[in-house]
Amino acid sequence: MKIRLAKASDAEGIAYAGVKTWQTNYRGIFPDEELDKLSFKEAIGRWKKSLLLNRIKENLQIIVAEDLEKGIVGFAAGGKYENTDPYDCEIGAIYVLNEHQRKGVGTKLVEKKVEFFQTKGWKSMIIWALKDNFQKGFYEKLGGKPKETQPYEKWGMKYELVGYVWEDINEIIF
């Protein structure tokens, strides 16, 4: 498994990992019919645009987990966004294909993101997760504390996000 910076040609693999992860991990949380309608083509377009912007924004970074035989199996994006305060940085997205979960891929992605954050001198970090997401235990295992909440609306329905916080990213448990 190789963790590396994403490049423009990775848009399709990132889109596939993102859409498939949403369709498997969010069943029973979001309406199935909406998950089934998620478009790979639209996701590829969004990721192409994000990857181009990523190259000109020094405080944001997108990385991929690449299996040498299967291609991109996960990704993470994050940095300092306009609304990250009061925290120094945020992992805004982390997705790993279902069949590659619980194999250390997510941990490696977080570890690489933290290395990037440390080069920037950032100390505190937040990751937002749906309150009903069964994967939130992953953040707790890494030492994240559920500290913040905020409403989230998707497909005309209201949900709650929980912000998992690390006051000092040097204390993340890998």
The whole-number pLDDT of residue 29 equals 93
The whole-number pLDDT of residue 12 equals 96
The whole-number pLDDT of residue 101 equals 93
Nearest to 24 by CA among 101, 78, 106: 101
- Work out the number of other CB atoms within 10 angstroms of the CB of residue 160: 11
- Collect the ranges in the chain with pLDDT lower than 70: 54-56
pLDDT digits (tens, 9 = 90+) for 6-26: 998 999 999 999 999 999 999
The whole-number pLDDT of residue 2 equals 96
pLDDT digits (tens, 9 = 90+) for 33-60: 999 999 999 999 999 988 877 666 788 9
Q: Return the C-alpha torsion angle 53, 125, 100, 29, nearest 10.
A: -90
Radius of gyration of the chain (CA): 15
The whole-number pLDDT of residue 58 equals 82
pTM above 0.85? yes
The whole-number pLDDT of residue 83 equals 86
Question: CA-CA distance, 72 to 20, in Å (whole number)?
Answer: 12
Residue 64, CA distances (Å) to 2, 4, 173 in order: 8, 6, 21
The whole-number pLDDT of residue 135 equals 84
Q: Which two tokens stand for residue 84?
A: 């990250």
The whole-number pLDDT of residue 115 equals 96
Ordered strands of the 71-79 beta sheet: 2-5, 60-67, 71-79, 89-96, 125-130, 157-166, 145-154
Domain range annotation of the chain: 2-171
What DSSP state is assigned to residue 99?
Answer: G
Which residue type sits at 71? G
Question: CA-CA distance, 44 to 14, in Å (whole number)?
Answer: 8
The whole-number pLDDT of residue 55 equals 64
- In CATH, 2-171 is 3.40.630.30: yes
The whole-number pLDDT of residue 54 equals 65
Alpha helices in 31-146 (DSSP H): 32-36, 40-56, 105-119, 136-141
